[in-house]
Amino acid sequence: MPYTKRILCLASSYKFGGRCIAGREFANNQLQDWVRPISSRPSHEINGLEMSYRGGGSASVLHYIDISFSHPSPINFQTENHVIDGAKWRFSSQESFAGAMNAVDQINGPLWLNGHSSYHGLNDQVPVNLANQQTSSIILIQPQSVIVQVANESRFGGGTVRKVRCAFSYSGYDYVLSVTDPIALSRYGQAVGHYPLPNALLCVSFGEPYHGFAYKLVASIITP
């Protein structure tokens, strides 16, 4: 039987030519567990048609959205997955930055597991066998400091690529994670440099496994 959940959207990030949408369920007048709507395609991305609203517009961060699902579909560390059933999504209302603060997770310790880093990142990898032991794959945090770093990074096989990352400290640990938030990529990705963001909220998520690792990604940057 199809079922409907209202979510506060906290991430709408790039994923395989589509989007990864995620948010906290809003029920009984309070924010509850994380929900990640996915398609039935092998890579699970949501396309532009699927995330469009009845009557116009489409899913955006800080929207409350009513979404119909066919069934839950936890996949290894992505325990929050629910498969959409094809019905049009419905916009309910818009939340403020102050309201988004109510969705922040309180994590005392590392973000999942630390100790593995890519060449340009820091604490951004978790081996898939260890990631699969985690019981969640998405969180919203308010770090002690956030700096968006834009650089021309070396790439495997030669050459460089423009890359946007977030450097931040949280609960005594330092991180440098790749950004997949399309708004942040458009805003900061045009010029090499460092951009401090005081008071920013970061939605951090595990991406799909890649070469034996699950990567921690900044799926959205939410600022006042």
| The pLDDT value given to residue 144 | 86
Q: Are strands 90-94 and 125-127 parallel, antiparallel or unpaired?
A: unpaired
| The pLDDT value given to residue 127 | 96
- pTM equals 0.94
Q: What is the pLDDT of residues 156-203, one digit of tens each?
A: 777 888 999 999 999 999 999 999 999 999 999 889 999 999 999 999
Token pair belonging to 28: 């009984």
| The pLDDT value given to residue 154 | 84
- Specify the DSSP element, H or E, that contains 128: helix 128-131
Selected from 3.40.1800, 2.60.40, 2.40.50, 1.10.60, the CATH number assigned to the domain covering 3-102 reads: 2.40.50
Q: What is the pLDDT of residues 192-218, one digit of tens each?
A: 999 999 999 999 999 888 899 999 999
Low-confidence ranges of the chain (pLDDT < 70): none
| The pLDDT value given to residue 24 | 98
Alpha carbon distance 139, 153 (integer Å) = 27
**Percent over 70 (pLDDT), the chain:** 100
CATH 2.40.50 positions along the chain are 3-102
| The pLDDT value given to residue 209 | 86
| The pLDDT value given to residue 65 | 98
